[in-house]
Amino acid sequence: MLKNIPAILSPELLKTLCEMGHSDRIIIADGNFPAESMGKNCKVIRADGHGVPELLDAILQLFPLDTYVDKPVNLMQVMPGDTAKTPIWDEYKKIVKNYDERGDSAIGQIERFEFYEQAKTAYAIIATGEKAVYANIMLQKGVV
* CA-to-CA dists, residue 3 to 6, 11, 67, 95, angstroms: 9, 13, 28, 22
Which residues, in sequence order, are CB contacts of 104 under 8 Å at separation 6+?
A: 93, 96, 97
What's the CA gap between 65 and 142, in Å, rounded? 5
Of the candidates 76, 82, 81, the residue with the CA atom closest to the CA atom of residue 116: 76
State the Cα–Cα distance between residues 119 and 109, nearest whole angstrom. 14
Q: Are strands 73-76 and 43-47 parallel, antiparallel or unpaired?
A: unpaired
Q: Catalytic site residues? A: 22, 66, 116
Helix (H) or strand (E) holding 96: helix 88-99
